[in-house]
Chain A
Amino acid sequence: MTKQIVFSVTLLITLGIFAYTVNRLIGLFKLTRPAFPIKDFGKRFGIMMGVAFGQKKIFRRPVIGFFHALVFWGFCVILIGSIEMVIDGVTGTDKVLKCLGPVYDFIMASGDIFAFLIIISIIVFLSRRLFFHIKRFEGVEMIKKTHIDAIIALTLILLLMVSLLAMNIGYVKHNTLLNEEISGLYPVSNILAGLIGGSSADSYWVLNQISWWTHILTIFFFANYLPYSKHFHVFMSVPNVFLSRLDPLGKLPNMDNITREVKLMLNPDTAFAAQPADATVERFGVKDAEDASWKNYFDSLSCTQCGRCTSVCPANITGKKLSPRKVMMNLRERMKEKGPLMVKNGRDFSDNRSLLRDYISEEEIWACTTCNACAKECPININHPTFIVDMRRYLVMEEASAPGELKAVFNNIENNGAPWQYSAEDRLLWTKDLEINVY
């Protein structure tokens, strides 16, 4: 009974902190702009199954992708065990899901095996970060804090898995020594249990209980650590994939407010028509965090800074300042800085800083070739190029600021209908003296 009370109180505190975080995030999301309507649930489900659960895009890097897939699939299976632990903890039952019979055996066996595979994967991940020189984990945006964040998250996962195996070993050993029935199958723990001696059933019970508490408390801590960490992707990535932009990568979203203006301009009949009553003057493009769409912000929260985007960016590869990962990280940081102050002081709040310029320089924005390599590579379908173009839209349409050569291109298109300074009269010159061989 004491265990139940202690557990329930801890659970309530965990949920309370989590609810606070979620509520805070909802407040920040309310500051953002609309993106696209969420339709096509069938298609979205398919993408979620392929990209998230199938880890399709992670496998674009097959070797390290395989290790990540093991961790992901392991988490999915182990999650069922964690739910059981919560039920057990609250109600005082012991392995409540064992009523599932063979299914339970399967879940427990997979969890046990996956815990072992995840330990191996995490050791691989940790060594990559600690002992190897991986270019993808470097860059101006990868400051010491981000590396420490990664190491903490990986260590917590390692602790989760070690405690899970220790819990299973304690359980298996204890019940074997007392000749009690074992619910579920634990292939890895059985082998490991065989390697250690000791005949005191009680000490194995203690091992089981300590591990049980370590495991569940680590989960509770992890759950509340994640939203403030780069590893928030544990929660956000699957929903982010489900909420993917469904358009072809080449398509830029249309600015409907511009369409209204252009149509008014082109049609003299409507030029004097009354503006719709709800028309508000909205900034064109993105200057600051609140100009981003909810999807941009969702992307930034889901980003785990893996750097696959930056590693394929032609600008970054050739030494330019642009890093798509940095753009996403900057949006998240800027929202963290300005968002809460806007929630407190109202939308008009200004701290005389902005995402563009104080976080992301114009030099970065203009280096993008919109090649979409970053978006193609992102394992969780983050779309960087549309956001980068949105910042260009702000610069060009609100500040009339662009590299000189591009301003010339705008002039040429406006005056002679081509990016170069040629006359439309010459558009058929290529057809001159065109001959074909006839056999």
Chain B
Amino acid sequence: METRKIEVPVMADLFSRGEKPEYLFWVGCAGAFDDRYKKVVRAFAKILSYLNVSYAVLGKEETCTGDPARRAGNEMLFQMQALQVIETFKMYEVTKIITICPHCFNTFKNEYPDLGGNYEVTNYLQFLNRYIDDGKLKIDKKSLKNISVTYHDPCYLGRANDIYDEPREILKKLTGNFVEMHRNRSFALCCGAGGGQMFKEAEKGDKEVFIERTEDALKTEAKVIATACPFCMTMITDGLKYKNKEEDIKNLDIAELIAQSLEL
């Protein structure tokens, strides 16, 4: 077995060479700055490289989509960010975007069109599932075999955009033992981080939302809690720590599970 170095293509470099990638891979702030989530982005970049996808990232030219500002009521800041991002996209003639973060995905797909930004926006789960359906990405139960896996639906993929099946189809290919939490799909409980909550203390209550949700996951007795959102990952991982379960139970992103199964 050999290893090969991956150079992640950056939009500005490609353009200076007169090249244009098919996709813009939008890394997102969590992907760029959150140490845990960087591993997810790295796993996804490996998969993109493995699949020979023509893509590039914006790198230093990437900025916040404005989503957290909008949901926290700062419409002015959101729109300033959005118009700035749309300008950058215009400059690089972006037409197709892949996102990992469901919040970025939702904003690009549903909210940028109002401001003149129309793109073909694909979430990485839809993207990977398409490769699986086309037979170009073959995953099997090699790495997980019968390890039980449960899936936490991110609100911004599930209820917000009706993406429920893709993650489940992928996970069922990775494990023979997929278990649902009692609140799943459109009934799924939020991890507690949406709408700006990620960045602030929760209001006074008698429990943290992420603990309530982690308990849902623990009840399934799954060994792996699969997530598909940076905020959910922070919350569920915190929940596992709180419950002293971080040694026995892993919280992994679906991209990491795929990369693991492909032994990349």
Residues of B within 8 A of A319 (CB): 204-207
In B125-173, the 8 Å CB interface with A consists of 155-156, 159-162
Contact with B along A312-332 (1 / 0, CB 8 A): 101101111110000000000
For the complex, is A37 an interface residue (Cβ under 8 Å from B)?
no
Residues of A within 8 A of B206 (CB): 318-319
Residues of A within 8 A of B80 (CB): 262, 265-266, 414
Q: Give B226 Cβ to nearest chain A Cβ, in Å.
A: 19
Q: Give A167 Cβ to nearest chain B Cβ, in Å.
A: 43
A428 with B8: CB separation less than 8 A: yes
Q: Give B60 Cβ to nearest chain A Cβ, in Å.
A: 5
Residue among B4, B27, B187, B195 making CB contact with A369, cutoff 8 Å? B195
Chain A residue nearest to B103 in the complex (CB): A250
For the complex, is B182 an interface residue (Cβ under 8 Å from A)?
no
Give the docked Cα–Cα distance between A285 and B78 (Å).
14
For the complex, is B212 an interface residue (Cβ under 8 Å from A)?
yes
Q: Give B68 Cβ to nearest chain A Cβ, in Å.
A: 5
Give the docked Cα–Cα distance between A372 and B213 (Å).
16
B64 with A430: CB separation less than 8 A: no
Give the docked Cα–Cα distance between A439 and B50 (Å).
11
Residues of B within 8 A of A431 (CB): 6-8, 42, 45, 57
Question: Total interface residues on B, using CB and 8 Å?
Answer: 80
B199 with A247: CB separation less than 8 A: no
B60 with A425: CB separation less than 8 A: yes
Contact with A along B54-72 (1 / 0, CB 8 A): 0001011111101011111
Q: Give A56 Cβ to nearest chain B Cβ, in Å.
A: 12
A396 with B73: CB separation less than 8 A: yes
Contact with B along A373-400 (1 / 0, CB 8 A): 1011000000001000101111111000
Chain B residue nearest to A405 in the complex (CB): B200
Given A372-B160, A437-B1, A438-B2: A312 touches B187 (CB 8 Å cut-off): yes
Residues of B within 8 A of A60 (CB): 187
Give the docked Cα–Cα distance between A321 and B196 (Å).
17
Residues of B within 8 A of A314 (CB): 189-190, 192, 209, 212-213
Residues of B within 8 A of A391 (CB): 73
Q: Give B221 Cβ to nearest chain A Cβ, in Å.
A: 22
Q: List the 8 closest pairs (A to B, CB-CB), nearest first.
A: A250-B160, A392-B73, A417-B63, A370-B195, A319-B206, A371-B190, A319-B205, A251-B110
B residues adjacent to A (C-beta < 8 A): 1-8, 10, 27, 29, 31-33, 38, 41-42, 45-46, 49-50, 57, 59-64, 66, 68-77, 79-81, 83, 106, 110-111, 114-115, 155-156, 159-162, 186-187, 189-190, 192-209, 212-213, 263-264
A residues adjacent to B (C-beta < 8 A): 60, 247-252, 254-255, 258-259, 261-263, 265-266, 284-285, 312, 314-315, 317-322, 363, 366-373, 375-376, 385, 389, 391-397, 402-403, 405-406, 408-410, 413-414, 417-420, 422, 424-431, 433-439
Known: A262-B79, A409-B72, A427-B60. 17 other contacts (CB 8 A): A60-B187, A250-B160, A254-B114, A284-B75, A285-B73, A319-B205, A368-B195, A396-B74, A413-B81, A417-B81, A419-B29, A428-B60, A430-B27, A431-B6, A431-B7, A437-B3, A438-B3
